[in-house]
A and B are shown apart, each in its own frame.
Chain A
Amino acid sequence: MKRRALAVASSFALCAGRAAAADPATLPPASAAAPAVTATVQAAAPPAPAPPKPPAAYGDLQSPELSSTRYSAYSLPRRTWAFDIGALGIGGGDVFANLGAAYGFGGGFQVEMNLAHFGVGLTNVDFGYHFLGTRYFDLGARLGIGYGRGEWFWLAQGAAKNLVSKIDLVNVPIELVASSLVTRWLELDLAVHYDFVKAFGSFDDDSSLFVKAELAVNQVFLRPGARVFVSDRTALELFAKLPLYSAVPLERKTVTVPFDKTWSIEAGVRSRLAGRVFGNLRLHYGSIADVLYGARLYPSFDVEFRF
């Protein structure tokens, strides 16, 4: 009886109201003796070990902390950093290599940069704003600015280097994207994207690497997509890029690029590997993959960390 009283007293004194966590079966009925010995026991009892930390609780891939901001209307939660390390992307922002850094300011605002592009003479900053969030429908906008200095684009070699070195360009992508969680396991996305490009310098060859990488193409395209959440940690993703208008603004004329050279599709898998670490593997099919990497079918991958 004395031990039970000690246990109760320790629980009350050290756990500060967490006695409810103790096994109720071990608790004696309330008695008048227990309060009387509390003060004595409190002084004599050794400090009890801290209660075990509860396991981390994560939502699924639809929760705001873990949802993908790529190609969706969503943005990072407030005071959240995201770092993205990957390679072989084919989009303007993550083409070749990706060392992305993003930060969520709250209120639906976020900013994102690809630090890897700094090393090759390219700069791009994207601002995102998730301005409408309802139960089944969300809207977001993206505005970016990119600058490419051909002289610093050391990746190009030989004749391509000579061509590219004469070109500087400014790229302004604007995007409106809608996301809808149609069901518990399905999300649909649709983006309308416009790329404005202004090139400076000698720019008479529409076969240069900048053009082929679609970094120097004025373009309007739709990007429908779907995400199927097959478990709380894994989602399948399918997106298509459907250009409505593509044109290369040369010095003396504008050359339109046909649809069959600019469309592409991608299928990928996104998983939460551990904690707030995510893995992505995608397969791309399209002409741009052929131009950039020599094959119409090509993989890309990245690992994302959120803090």
Chain B
Amino acid sequence: MLPFRVKFMHGGAAVLGFGLFAGSAPAAEPTPAAVRPAASSSAPQVASAAGAEASLAGFSLLATGGFGASTTSVRQLELAPYGGNFGVDAGYTFRVGLHLSGYFQYSLGRREHQNYHPRIGRDFEFTADTSSMSAGISFGWDVPLYALVLRYGLGFGITSMKWDFGSTPPVDVRFGGYESPTVGFHFAPSMALLYEHGLFEGGIGFVYFAQVNGVIPSGFVGNLLCGVKL
């Protein structure tokens, strides 16, 4: 499955990167929308966000903190390189909504005590202690949502996972040939709901670290974000 993922994800990254950049170009000649009859009912109109677009532009510097969990097991092992985490996200939003940023995140991880069932030999218990660091760049788009901003993102970067199996030789748990820390590429779809007031910017969000290196588990991380927007 690993070679398959690598080939696929590289292609997907290139395609989506092109798509996001193309999206920043002026849209094709629009025509006024003909709203369905149901949409013109007498019910309260949903808010138009057009007026808020001008305020999207600016630099933002956000501190992030939250908690994450692995969504995959690796070679029958339960690894938890995410857990509690903190980091930083710095970027710029263009007036049209395009958001470019760089991010860094350190995840404390946690210890996972588990019973391993080898294909040959007796079962044994051991503890896997893992943590990780991730960094990369992100292409995103800010969409006004009433007084809030909905930020779509897709990050591309590197994750470095430290692991320690104690006295258990790595080869016994099919980690032979790997060294700690193990490094791999990731891409990271994300979403955040942000509130801006003056210089303050903060909100909640999540990021999904889809790991290309099959030895590093993918993970879902929920974050609180707090910082400034200039």
**When A155-B8, A233-B49, A274-B23 are in contact, do A86 and B96 touch as well, CB less than 8 Å?**
no
Partner of A156, one of B4, B33, B34: B4
- For A299, the chain B residues whose CB sits under 8 A away are 189, 208, 210
- For B31, the chain A residues whose CB sits under 8 A away are 65
B48 located at the interface, meaning its Cβ lies under 8 Å from any Cβ of chain A in the complex:
yes
B:8-43 near A, CB below 8 Å: 8-9, 11-12, 15-16, 18-20, 22-24, 26-28, 30-39, 41, 43
A152 located at the interface, meaning its Cβ lies under 8 Å from any Cβ of chain B in the complex:
no
Closest chain B CB from A139 CB (angstroms):
15
Are B145 and A307 in touch, CB under 8 angstroms?
Answer: no
In whole angstroms, what is the CA distance A272 to B97 when docked?
11
B146 located at the interface, meaning its Cβ lies under 8 Å from any Cβ of chain A in the complex:
yes
In whole angstroms, what is the CA distance A33 to B26 when docked?
47
- For B35, the chain A residues whose CB sits under 8 A away are 59-60, 62-63
Q: Add 4 more A-B contacts to A88-B210, A155-B7 (CB < 8 A).
A: A67-B36, A232-B47, A232-B49, A274-B96
A:280-301 near B, CB below 8 Å: 281, 283, 293-299, 301
A253 located at the interface, meaning its Cβ lies under 8 Å from any Cβ of chain B in the complex:
no
A213-257 CB mask vs B (1 if < 8 Å, else 0) is 000000000000000011111100000000000000000000000
- For B33, the chain A residues whose CB sits under 8 A away are 57-60, 63-66
When C-beta atoms are compared, the residue in chain B nearest to A276 turns out to be B27
When C-beta atoms are compared, the residue in chain A nearest to B70 turns out to be A295
Interface size on B, residues (CB 8 A): 57
Are B30 and A58 in touch, CB under 8 angstroms?
Answer: yes
- For B160, the chain A residues whose CB sits under 8 A away are none
- For B43, the chain A residues whose CB sits under 8 A away are 183-185
**When A58-B30, A277-B27 are in contact, do A87 and B71 touch as well, CB less than 8 Å?**
no
In whole angstroms, what is the CA distance A264 to B150 when docked?
26
Partner of A65, one of B1, B34, B37, B46: B34
- For A230, the chain B residues whose CB sits under 8 A away are 46, 145
Are B218 and A87 in touch, CB under 8 angstroms?
Answer: no
Closest chain B CB from A271 CB (angstroms):
4
B166 located at the interface, meaning its Cβ lies under 8 Å from any Cβ of chain A in the complex:
no
- For A127, the chain B residues whose CB sits under 8 A away are none
Please, could you name 12 A-B residue pairs with CB atoms under 8 Å apart, sorted by A?
A59-B34, A60-B33, A63-B35, A85-B16, A87-B9, A157-B3, A231-B46, A231-B47, A274-B23, A274-B24, A305-B22, A305-B23
A-B contact count (CB 8 A): 166
Are B154 and A181 in touch, CB under 8 angstroms?
Answer: no
Are B46 and A60 in touch, CB under 8 angstroms?
Answer: yes
**A contact residues vs B (CB 8 Å cutoff):** 56-60, 62-67, 85-88, 96-97, 99, 116, 135-136, 154-157, 181, 183-185, 229-234, 269, 271-277, 279, 281, 283, 293-299, 301, 303, 305-307
Q: Which 10 interchain pairs have the tightest Cβ spacing?
A: A275-B27, A59-B33, A87-B12, A184-B43, A295-B71, A63-B33, A85-B19, A181-B38, A303-B19, A56-B30
Q: Taking each of A135, A154, A277, A305, which has the highest tally of chain B beta carbons within 10 Å of its own beta carbon?
A: A277
In whole angstroms, what is the CA distance A272 to B144 when docked?
10
Partner of B12, one of A97, A295, A298: A97
- For A273, the chain B residues whose CB sits under 8 A away are 23, 97, 141, 143, 152
- For B7, the chain A residues whose CB sits under 8 A away are 154-155
In whole angstroms, what is the CA distance A228 to B146 when docked?
15
B:103-157 near A, CB below 8 Å: 141, 143-146, 150, 152, 154
In whole angstroms, what is the CA distance A301 to B218 when docked?
16
- For B145, the chain A residues whose CB sits under 8 A away are 230-231, 233-234
Are A86 and B143 in touch, CB under 8 angstroms?
Answer: no
In whole angstroms, what is the CA distance A252 to B164 when docked?
49
In whole angstroms, what is the CA distance A65 to B5 when docked?
36
Closest chain A CB from B140 CB (angstroms):
9
In whole angstroms, what is the CA distance A66 to B27 when docked?
13
Are B71 and A271 in touch, CB under 8 angstroms?
Answer: no
- For B18, the chain A residues whose CB sits under 8 A away are 85
